[in-house]
Amino acid sequence: MISAAVPLSCAGGGDFSLIHFFLLSDNMASSEDSATEKLTAPDRVTPKGDTSIFNSMAFRGIAYQVLLAAFVILGGLYLYINVNANLERQGIATGWSFFNENAGFDIGESPIEYDSEDSYGFALWVGVLNTLRVAFVGIILATILGVFMGIARTSRNWLLSKVANVYVEICRNVPVVLHVLFWATVVRFLPHPKQAITPFDGAFLMNRGIVFPIPNEHPAYIWVGVAFVLGVIGAIFLGRWAQRWREMTGQYIPTFLWGCVIVIGLPLAAWLVQGAPLTWNVPALRGFNFQGGMALSPEYAALVVGVTVYTAAFIAEIVRAGIQSVPHGQIEAARALGLRPRFIMHYVTMPQALRVIVPPTASQYLSLTKNSSLGVLIGYPDLVNIGNTTLNQTGQAVEAIAIMMIVYLSISLAISTFMNLYNRLVAIKER
Amino acid sequence: MKTFITAVAAIAFAGAMAVDTKTAMAEDGPTLKAVKARGEVICGVHQGRYGFAIADSQGKWKGLDVDFCRAVAAATLGDSEKVKYIPLGSVQRFPALQSGEVDMLSRTTTITLTRDSALGLNFGPPTFYTGTGFMVRKSIGATTVDQMAGAAICVFPGSTTEKNIASLFKSKGMKFTPVVIESSKQLVGAYMSGRCDVLAMDQAGLPGHQQYDAKKPADHLIIPGVYSKEPLGIGVRAGDDQWFDIIKWVTHATFNAEEWGVSSKNVDSMLKTKDPNVKRLLGASADLGKKLGLDKQWAYRIIKQVGNYGEIYESNWGPPLSLARGINNLWTNGGLMYGFPMK
C-alpha cells in the first residue's frame, strides 16, 4: 500500500526536477549549438567548400516531420480506401442518410421527450444525454466519496483509516464490469412495485427504481433560480474580497459561513417574498407502475453506483498520495505559527497537494466517463446501447461506431480541457 | 499499392469476394473452397435459445438452427459433426457474417428487405415461421396486449421485436418502458427477477424460457397470438452464389424429404425405391449434387445424419417444449413449408 503511494508522490515531486531538467538541457543545447557551429564549420568542409544540406539540423528536423506526416496521412488514406473497397465489394450501403430516418424503437428513459417516430439521429442524441447524465453525476459523487476516503486514509483515527483502507483495496481490485453487474443484481432483488419500500412518505424503492416526490412547477421558481445564481456570484466576490482584506489587514472573515448564508438565503428570500408556493407531485401506483414524481431507473442507479464506487477508490488513493506528498515540515511550521487544523488543511496542505492530485484525477474522470458505456450490459440506454440498436437496424456499422467514437472523444477532450484549466489555476505559481 | 490492398483485403475478408456465377458452377466458390480446406463449417448461432440453439452441460449444441448447420456440414463435408459454432449476440451477428468470421448465420434471424439488401446479405428459404410474442407473469393479471399499457418490457436490442412493439403500442395509443439488454441470460434474468412485467421475443423462443428459466413455469403465461411476421432464415454473404445455392437447396432437401416420406430411419431402404423424386434426391438416378459443387450423396447424408424437416422439428420442439407445428407444418398439411422441385 505504501509502495503504491510512493510512485504517485514521486511523480508529483518529479515535476520540479523534470522542469529543472528541461530548463537546464535547453540552456545546454543552445550553448552547444553555438559551440558546434563554430567547431563544425571548418571541420566538416566538403571538397567543394559547402556543407551538405543533410547536416543542417533545421532541414533534418523538418524532413523528419514531413516524413512522419506523410506516413500518418498515407496510413489513414490506405485504411479509408480499404474499408470503402471492401464495403462496396460486399454490397453494403454506406452513408449518413439513416440519420434522418424514422428510428422506430422506443427508449426506456430519456431526459428529453423522445418518441419512436423520431429519427435515428435524435435517438443517438438521447443516448449522448443519457451518457452525460451518468458521467456528470458519477464524477461529482466519485469526487466526494474519493476525497472523503482519501482523507480518511490519512486520518489518525485507526478505525476510520482501516475502513477506508479496506474500501479502497476491495473496490479498486475488482473489475468495474463486476461492480456494475453486482449493483444491477442487487437492485433487481428489491421488492415489486406493489410491495415497494417506503423510506419516507411519497418515496418508493423497488425493482423498478426509485421514485420520489418533486415540487410541482410554479412560475416563482424561475426567480428562485435567478436568486441562486446571484447568490453563487456574490459568494465568489465575497471570497475574493475577504482574501484581499486578509492580506491587507490580517483580519480573517469566515467566508464559508457567509457564503452559505448568501447562496441559501437569497433563493429562500425570493421564494418567501412570492408567497412560498409549494405543492408536491407525489408518485402513485397506477397500473403496472408509479406515475408522477421523479423516477430513477434501476439501471441508472446501478450504473452510477457501480462506476462511482470503483472510481472513488482510485481517487481516494490519489488524494492520499497528494496529502502525503506535502512535506511534514510545512505542517509543523504551520502549527508553530499557531494555525488551526482547519486552516492548515485549507491554506497549507491542500494548495500544495492539489497540484499532485488534479492531473491523475482528471484521467480518473475520463475513465469514469468511458466506463459508463458498460450500461449496455445491464440495459441502460446510453450512447453505446442506442448506437448498437441503430447499428443493427440500419446495418451501418462503420458509421455507428464512428459516431460513438467521436462522441466519447469530444466528451473526453472537454473534460480534459476543463481539468487542464483547473490545473493551471491550482498549480504553484512561479514568481 | 493496389495489389497490396487487394491482397490484404483478400486475407481479411476471405471468401467474401464476388465470383462470377458461371465460373462458380465450374469450380468451388470461395466459401465452399474455404470450408473444404478448413474441414469445418463455421456457423453463427444464438448464444442460448431453447429449441433453436443451446449448448448442453457437455458443450454439445442442440436446436433447429444448429441442425441446419449440421445439415450443411453433412452436405459439404460428409460429416454433420464438422461444425464450429460461434455464439453471436443480436448486434454482432451481421458484422460477424459480413466480415467472414462465420460461413453461415443460422441464428433466429428474421428476413427483412434491409437486411437482404443494404447489409449485403442473402437469405435462404425460411426454416421457421414465428412472430413477436409476449410472456407475462400471471400475477399481474394481463391476458391480452391491450392490458399492458405502462408495462416494463424486456427486449433484445436491434431485434425486429424492438421495432414491432414500438409500432404495436403506438398504434394502440399505449406507452411502455423498454428494458433493452443484449445478453440473453441478463435479459431473461431481468424478466424473471421482476424487473420487467413482460418478456417479448419471437414467440417460439418463449416456451423454452418458461420451461427452463422460470422457478415455477405455471406462474407465467404466453399471450396467445403473434404480433408480427418473423420468417427466420439462414443468412450468407451476398456475392457467393454457389454457397447461397447450397444453403437454399439443403433447406429444400429437408422439406422435400419429409414430404416424400424419406427419414433418417428409412433412407437406406429408400435408395431402392421406384419414386423418381426420391431417386433424384438421394442421388440414385441423377447427380444433382454436381450442379451445386457437391457429390452425389449430399442429400442422402443430410437425411441420414440429421433427418428430414419433420424429424428436425420433432427433436427440438417436441416435449417438453411441446410447441405445436402450426404454420411450420408442410404445405400438404396446411403449413407453409414448401420444398421446391429438385430436378
- Tell me the ipTM for this assembly: 0.73
Asked if B230 and B132 count as a contact pair (C-beta separation under 8 A), the reply is yes
Shortest Cα–Cα distance, A357 to chain B (Å) = 37
- Residue B27 pLDDT > 50, yes or no? yes
Same domain? For B95 and B237 the reply is yes
pLDDT of residue A50: 64
Average pLDDT over residues B105-112: 94
pLDDT of residue B334: 93
Average pLDDT over residues B113-117: 89
Same domain? For B30 and B166 the reply is no
Boundary residue ending a domain (B211, B228, B245): B228
Secondary element (H or E) of residue A166: helix A158-172
Q: What angle do CA B87, B90, B92 make, to 5 degrees?
A: 70
Q: How confident is the model at residue B36 (pLDDT cuts 50, 70, 90)?
A: very high
- My answer on whether omega of the bond before B320 falls inside 30° of 0, hence cis, is yes
**Which one has a higher pLDDT value, B37 or A216?**
B37
Q: With pLDDT > 90 as the criterion, what percentage of chain B qualifies?
A: 66
pLDDT of residue A431: 64
Q: Is residue B208, in this structure, part of any structural domain at all?
A: yes
Same domain? For B7 and B124 the reply is yes
Q: Is residue B338, in this structure, part of any structural domain at all?
A: no
What is the CB neighbour count within 10 angstroms for residue A115? 13
Query: Residue A56: which of A47, A44, A48 has the closest Cα?
Result: A44
Q: Determine contact: B190 vs chain A, CB below 8 A.
A: yes
Q: Is residue B340, in this structure, part of any structural domain at all?
A: no
Average pLDDT over residues B72-87: 96
Among chain B residues, the shortest Cα distance to A390 is held by B158
pLDDT of residue A47: 55
Residue given cell 473452397 in the structure block: B33
Query: Residue A9: which of A314, A327, A316 has the closest Cα?
Result: A327
Q: Which residues contact A133 (CB under 8 A, 6 or more apart)?
A: A111, A300
pLDDT of residue A294: 81
CA-to-CA separations, B3 to B7, B9, B239, in angstroms, rounded: 6, 10, 21
Average pLDDT over residues B167-172: 91
CATH of the domain at B136: 3.40.190.10
Cβ distance B13 to A289 less than 8 Å, yes or no, reads no
Give residue B337's region: left, alpha or beta (phi > 0; psi -120 to 50): beta
Total count of domains within chain B = 2
Contacts of B151 in chain A (CB under 8 A): 287-289
Same domain? For B119 and B57 the reply is yes
Cβ distance A82 to B9 less than 8 Å, yes or no, reads yes
| Residues lower than pLDDT 70 in chain A | 1-50, 430-431
Shortest Cα–Cα distance, A124 to chain B (Å) = 14
Same domain? For B109 and B238 the reply is yes
Same domain? For B6 and B83 the reply is yes
Q: pLDDT tens digit string along B270-325?
A: 999 999 999 999 998 888 999 999 999 999 999 999 999 999 999 999 988 888 89
Partner-chain residue, chosen from B118, B178, B193, that has the shortest CB–CB distance to A108: B178
**Which one has a higher pLDDT value, A314 or B3?**
A314
Q: Which residues contact A114 (CB under 8 A, 6 or more apart)?
A: A107, A122, A123, A126
Shortest Cα–Cα distance, A88 to chain B (Å) = 9
Same domain? For B18 and B114 the reply is yes
Q: Is residue B184, in this structure, part of any structural domain at all?
A: yes
Cβ distance B140 to A288 less than 8 Å, yes or no, reads yes
3-state secondary structure of B260: coil
Same domain? For B57 and B30 the reply is yes
Boundary residue ending a domain (B228, B263, B282): B228
Q: Which residues contact A69 (CB under 8 A, 6 or more apart)?
A: none
Among chain A residues, the shortest Cα distance to B5 is held by A82
Same domain? For B16 and B154 the reply is no
Partner-chain residue, chosen from A89, A90, A389, that has the shortest CB–CB distance to B180: A389
Boundary residue ending a domain (B188, B209, B228): B228
Same domain? For B180 and B237 the reply is no
Same domain? For B216 and B156 the reply is yes
Q: Determine contact: B103 vs chain A, CB below 8 A.
A: no
Q: Is residue B286, in this structure, part of any structural domain at all?
A: yes
Same domain? For B202 and B214 the reply is yes
Q: How many residues appear in chain A?
A: 431
Q: How confident is the model at residue B11 (pLDDT cuts 50, 70, 90)?
A: very low
Q: Residue B112 belongs to what domain range?
A: 2-129+232-333
**Which one has a higher pLDDT value, B164 or A292?**
B164
Asked if B42 and B243 count as a contact pair (C-beta separation under 8 A), the reply is no
